[in-house]
Amino acid sequence: MYLDLTEEQKLIQETARDFAMTELEPVAGDLDKGGDDAIFYENLKKLAEVGFMGLNIKEEYGGAEAGVIAFSVAMTEIARACAATAVTVSVNNMVNEVIQALGTEEQKQQYITKICSGEYQAGAFALTEPGAGSDPASMTTTAVQDGDDWIINGSKIFITSGSCAGVFVVWAVTDPKAPKGKGISLFLVEQGTSGLVVGKREDKLGQHASATNEIIFQNCRIPGSALMGKLNDGFRVAVSELAGGRIGIGSLGLGLGLAAMDSATRYSLERKQFGRKISDFQAIQWKIADAYTELEAARLLLMNAAFKKEQGQKFAKEASMAKVFATEAANRACYEAMQILGGYGYTKDYPIERYSRDARITTIYEGTSEIQRLIISREILQSFS
């Protein structure tokens, strides 16, 4: 792999950085405190207009066709300013990628173009259920055929952008007699469909501006054309196509870790104790050295996974390695950044406490660290057998 970015990738990185610094960072703190959602949605619209909702999507569907590496570096820059915006951008990109990979031409034209253009504020994945999180094969939401239609019943939880998504990618059991994980199908359900109920918005530790909702299906009738991909093949999609989302969340974590350490490093050059800048003390220097070393290692793991995906190679193990390492390194970086600031780091006068809260979920959503380790170990053990 050639480690330097291409000119196009550098341009996307610079564009993302400039947008993050001028549009996102000034409002991120207020949005975290429950500020005006209209500002959040306006920024999503602006990001769509510059092509960031379809970075790995073909131009014919409104995408930028810039590739997976460009997606990763853009996610990192956006997350350095506002993790809530970054997770929405990541999910939008992955919804578009799944529809591009599996959808009919009509589905691609109908939904990808609307997410890429910003006509839809967001797309959403409706996979997780109260009893099926890390084990999605245990889902109980059903889709029963009724003439030419399907009727969906069940509930989903922790759905990012649930209240503002224009379309949901919904997993449901279509053959309850099939072996576990074999009778699940994938559907596209539009917001506003009769029987689709958006439930409560979760009161979360961090990433407050990004809505996370329960979604309830009560005899939700959808046309037969809403089926995406092959019947009863949806579980394979959940464990394969969505691996790309781990690159997005790993990149988000990297951005948060870098933001925290940049803030702490600048502080260490200004703060004085015992008559010296605290950056002069080895205890602080080693924290800075260790954190940035881990974050650089995370960046390289992410680039490797993104490169493999972009080249059409197998990348599941690499994506899991990048995700688990980057998100855990981000949490450690936030912890050390707070330690460098001391008591100030624990206050809302500095952004470190927000970065720390925003980073915590990254080791949980898009597959927990424990699940990533299961995937990694499984791939390694299979290579030895």
Residues carrying an active site annotation:
366
Nearest alpha-carbon partner for 56 in 15, 92, 17: 92
282's tokens: 């080895």
327 touches 249 (CB < 8 A): yes
Eight-state DSSP code of residue 6: P
Radius of gyration of the chain measured on its C-alpha atoms: 21
* Interatomic CA distance for residues 80 and 93, integer angstroms: 18
Task: Provide DSSP, 214-247.
Answer: EEEEEEEEEEGGGEESSTT-HHHHHHHTTHHHHH
Amino acid at 141: T
CA distances from 352 to 106, 262, 345, 375 (A): 45, 10, 6, 32
Q: Which residues pair with 190 in a beta bridge?
A: 167
Q: Which residues pair with 151 in a beta bridge?
A: 144, 221
* Count of residues making up the chain: 385
* Interatomic CA distance for residues 259 and 251, integer angstroms: 12
* Interatomic CA distance for residues 184 and 201, integer angstroms: 27
Amino acid at 223: P
Q: Tell me, rounded to whole angstroms, the distance of Cα 363 from its chain centroid.
A: 11
* Interatomic CA distance for residues 382 and 385, integer angstroms: 5
